[in-house]
């Protein structure tokens, strides 16, 4: 697997993947052994993440290859359908997956999402609209939601 780090407004994004796709994008405060070199299989991911943070990209188009259970992968696929600038509750996400009673399992799968921002787990909130757990920290989740709400396209009728 290839790896690289890029600086973002929220810390350093650590990107891992190969020719089969991106397996992980996580956030770290300080990179380990970072270099400026971007391995070829990660170039598109780096380019798209930079565009996202520069308000030039709202939808990612990358080959993804996350590791997880079938259930987790189904949750992550559903997360990828949440539009830029929108949020959904854990309960509504569970209902979309066909079982409102699976809310805890859905929340757990959401928390195990290995592909930060690209698979937008930050767009899932509590039923009451509250911010709930986020592996990168609630301040990062709030930043991402603010970033997207401030830069979503405005439609005029």
C-alpha 117, offset from chain centre: 2
Would you say 65 and 23 are in contact if contact means Cβ atoms under 8 Å apart? Answer: yes
**Active-site residue numbers?**
121
3-state class of 13 per DSSP? Answer: strand
| Phi–psi pair at 150, nearest 5 degrees | -75, -20
CA 45, CA 123: separation in Å to the nearest integer?
20
Helix 103-111 / helix 70-79 crossing angle, nearest 10 deg: 80
């Amino acid at each position: 697997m290839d790896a690289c780090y890029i600086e973002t407004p929220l810390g350093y994004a650590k990107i891992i993947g190969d020719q089969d796709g991106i397996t992980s994008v996580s956030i770290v405060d300080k990179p380990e052994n970072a270099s400026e070199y971007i391995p070829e299989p990660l170039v598109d991911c780096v380019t798209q993440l930079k565009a996202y943070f520069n308000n030039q990209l709202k939808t990612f188009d990358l080959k993804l290859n996350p590791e997880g259970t079938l259930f987790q992968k189904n949750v992550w696929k559903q997360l990828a359908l949440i539009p830029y600038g929108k949020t959904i509750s854990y309960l509504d996400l569970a209902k979309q997956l066909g079982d409102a009673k699976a809310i805890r399992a859905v929340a757990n799968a959401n928390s195990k999402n290995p592909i930060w921002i690209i698979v937008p787990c930050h767009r899932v909130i509590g039923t009451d609209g509250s911010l709930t757990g986020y592996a990168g920290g609630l301040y990062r989740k709030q930043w991402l939601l603010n970033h997207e709400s401030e830069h979503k396209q405005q439609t005029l009728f």
